[in-house]
C-alpha cells in the first residue's frame, strides 16, 4: 500500500522566504505618523512592518476577493484617533469607491427604470448584508435595515467606538443625498447607531 502523499503547506505570501523585498519610500502626514506610533506601541511592531502588512493585505485581498479586510483591532485605534475632517474624508472616499465600482449592483438595479427609493433601499440592503456584516468586512456584530411608514431605518451594533458610528453616518448621508433622502433622526453611540431616513419632499 503506497503511503499517502504529504499535503503541501499553504504558501504564505508574507514570509521572508517567499518575499523578494523592494524598498519604497512613502510620505505620511503628522497625524498619520502619530497613529502609526500608537499602533506600533500597542501591537509591539515597528512602523515599517505595520505599513508593509497593511499594503500586503490590501494587495492580496483586493486582487483575490475584491474587498479589503482590516483587523478590527487596527481599525478601532485608527478611528479613535481620527479627526472629524479625516472621518469625513474617509466617508467621501468610501462612498465614491462603492457607488462607482459595483458590477454586482448593475444586475439588480436599473438607474433608468428603478425609482430612487428602490435604489436607496437596495444599497442599504447591500451595505448591511454584503459589506458591513460579519460575512463581509465584519465591522458590525449585528447590522440591518427596515422599511417603515415613517421612513427607512439603518441600525447596528459594533465594538469600534463613537468615531466609527460617525464615519458610518457620514457614508450613509452621502447615499441618502444621492438618492433624494435626508436624515430624520439619528442616535450615534460608542457601540451602536440608529439612523432614520426620509425621502425629501418635492415641491
Residue numbers of the chain with a pLDDT score lower than 50: 7-15, 58-66, 103-104
Instruction: Enter the C-alpha cell of residue 198.
Output: 426620509
The secondary structure element, H or E, covering residue 142 is strand 140-148
pLDDT in tens, 134-188: 888 889 999 999 998 889 999 999 999 999 999 999 999 999 999 999 999 999 9
Is 144:156 a contact under the CB 8 Å cutoff?
Answer: yes
Give the number of other Cβ atoms within 10 Å of residue 47's Cβ: 13
pLDDT at site 159: 93
pLDDT at site 183: 94
Q: What is the pTM of this model?
A: 0.64
Amino acid at each position: 500500500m503506497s503511503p499517502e502523499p504529504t499535503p503541501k503547506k499553504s504558501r504564505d505570501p508574507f514570509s521572508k522566504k517567499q518575499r523578494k523585498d523592494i524598498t519604497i519610500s512613502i510620505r505620511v502626514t503628522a497625524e498619520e505618523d502619530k497613529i502609526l506610533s500608537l499602533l506600533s506601541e500597542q501591537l509591539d511592531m515597528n512602523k515599517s512592518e505595520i505599513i508593509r502588512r497593511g499594503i500586503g493585505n490590501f494587495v492580496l485581498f483586493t486582487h483575490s476577493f475584491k474587498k479589503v479586510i482590516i483587523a478590527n483591532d487596527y481599525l478601532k485605534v485608527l478611528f479613535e484617533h481620527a479627526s472629524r475632517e479625516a472621518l469625513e474624508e474617509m466617508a467621501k472616499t468610501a462612498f465614491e469607491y462603492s457607488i462607482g465600482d459595483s458590477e454586482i449592483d448593475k444586475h439588480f438595479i436599473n438607474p433608468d427604470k428603478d425609482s430612487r427609493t428602490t435604489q436607496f433601499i437596495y444599497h442599504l440592503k447591500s451595505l448591511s448584508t454584503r459589506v458591513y456584516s460579519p460575512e463581509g468586512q465584519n465591522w458590525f456584530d449585528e447590522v440591518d435595515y427596515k422599511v417603515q411608514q415613517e421612513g427607512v431605518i439603518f441600525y447596528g451594533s459594533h465594538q469600534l467606538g463613537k468615531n466609527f458610528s460617525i464615519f458610518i453616518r457620514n457614508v450613509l448621508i452621502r447615499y441618502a443625498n444621492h438618492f433624494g433622502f435626508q436624515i430624520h433622526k439619528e442616535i450615534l453611540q460608542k457601540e451602536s447607531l440608529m439612523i432614520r431616513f426620509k425621502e425629501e419632499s418635492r415641491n
